[in-house]
Amino acid sequence: MRIAISTGGGDAPGLNAVIRAAVLSALDRGWDVLGIKRGYAGLLGEDEVIALNREVVSGIGHLGGTILRTTNRGNPFHFPQLQADGTIVEIDRSDELIDRANELGIDAILTIGGDGSLAIAQQLYERGVKIVGVPKTIDNDVSCTITSFGFDTAVNTAIEAIDKLHTTAESHDRVIVLEVMGRDAGFIALHSGLAGTADVILIPEIPYNIERVCDKIRQRDRAGRHFSIVVAAEGAIPVGGRKSTIGDSLPGEAHRVGGIAEALAREIHRRTGKECRSLVLGHLQRGGMPTGYDRLLAARFGGAAVRAIADERWGEMVALQSPHIVCVPIAEVLRAPKRVELDHDVVLTARATGIAFGD
Ligand code: F6P
């Protein structure tokens, strides 16, 4: 048996722990393991395919990033190709990928990725590729799994930032707006905001009214709390408005979500007269060592994925459905992205403890 591992999409702390556990579990069964570099680029002649053995995965379990590298621009069904005039044309290179995998004697692929990589996995599965998925997302937006590795690390990084912002905001009687990642999901903002005791949390699932946000800040002022911490998910949306995006994308690249923190800080200052500052936490949330929780979950996913391959659970993804790791068809996972449920206990507790959502 020869399996190949690929990591795709944005990196997440814990990828290396999945790779390590999967490689050691596969070697334990006497299988051969290959690593496809940079998503599927290694199979498309754009990068390498390497042997993954005990030495290669030794000492990587606690490291952030991925030893296989990754990309969110390498969909084999829509592979971007730069033209002489600077434009990008997307071509289908899936046949090439499948031929190369067959040439290398790859019996099964283990793909570790978020919604984009899982959608590619589903297409490959429909083309007859024997593939098993492991969910990876700091945003926690993959369905059918309670969580994925990377999310806990991102939330802890955001909590640490909120703790530090509290002391400086309080010293200066300022409002500080912290922008956290999450794309169209508000989990990082919600979880870090409640655990870090923010005053306002803005998430894409609850459109906000800026006047309601300012009301909360004024109300705190009147109560003698002259500072406020606003945690805004990068994809938060004002009622009737749109999410904020950053321009100047590379050719062929979608506009990036972001920029809400500074816009909010200016608007809150204009409306309340309070001194405001903003901070974009950005890729700090994706970097560094995974937390203990994420390392353990990643190792469990890696081991479970090899068992799923042994059981020929093709087209399925390992998932945490506490206390067990189970397998779910990727088609079911892709049916709808996971979003914050408005009646979830985390939202209810946040509201009951005085946190405003701007609604
Ligand atoms: O999906 C993970 C994520 O970190 C999002 O939270 C964020 O919007 C996006 O990726 C950033 O992508 P990039 O690293 O390409 O800027």
* Residue 253 pLDDT greater than 80, yes or no: no
Query: Beta strand 256-257 with 245-246: parallel, antiparallel or unpaired?
Result: antiparallel
User: Does 204 sit in the ligand 1 pocket, CB within 6 Å?
Assistant: no
For residue 248, the model assigns a pLDDT of 59
Q: Is 257 in the pocket of ligand 1 (CB under 6 A)?
A: yes
Alpha helices in the chain (DSSP H): 15-28, 54-57, 94-103, 115-126, 151-172, 187-195, 210-222, 260-272, 292-310, 330-334, 345-352
Instruction: Tell me whether the omega of the peptide bond preceding residue 323 falls within 30 degrees of 0, making it cis.
Output: yes
In a 3-state reduction of DSSP, which class is residue 344?
Answer: coil
Give Cα 185 distance to the centre of its chain: 10
Mean pLDDT of the chain: 96
Predicted confidence (pLDDT) at residue 185 exceeds the cutoff of 60: yes
Say what the pLDDT of residue 249 is. Answer: 56
Q: Which residue carries 């930032």 as its tokens?
A: 161
Q: What is the pLDDT averaged over residues 272-301?
A: 98
Q: How much is the pLDDT for 33?
A: 98
pLDDT score of 104 more than 70: yes
Asked whether residue 322 carries a pLDDT value surpassing 60, the answer given is: yes
Give the pLDDT confidence score for residue 250 in this predicted structure.
59
Share above pLDDT 70 across residues of the chain, in percent, rounded to a whole number: 98
Residue 256 beta carbon below 6 angstroms from any ligand 1 atom: yes
DSSP track, 207-257: -B-HHHHHHHHHHHHHTT---EEEEEETT--BTTS---EE--PPTTPPPEE
| 139 annotated active-site | yes
11, 139, 199, 294: the catalytic one is: 139
Q: Read off the pLDDT of residues 40-61 as tens digits, 9 standing for 90 and up.
A: 999 999 999 999 999 999 999 9
pLDDT tens track for 216-228: 999 999 999 999 9
> What's the pLDDT at 255?
77
Q: What are the backbone angles phi and psi of residue 166, rounded to the nearest 5°?
A: -55, -50
Task: Round to whole Å and give the CA distance between 212 and 356.
Answer: 8
At 127-180, the pLDDT tens digits run: 999 999 999 999 999 999 999 999 999 999 999 999 999 999 999 999 999 999
Domains of the chain: 2-149+290-322 (3.40.50.450), 152-286+341-352 (3.40.50.460)
**How many Å lie between the centroid of ligand 1 and the Cα of residue 7?**
15
Percent of the chain with pLDDT over 90: 94
Query: What DSSP state is assigned to residue 329?
Result: E
For residues 309 and 110, the answer to whether their CB atoms sit within 8 Å is yes
Ligand 1 pocket: which of 115, 138, 255, 281 to mutate (most atoms within 8 A of CB): 138
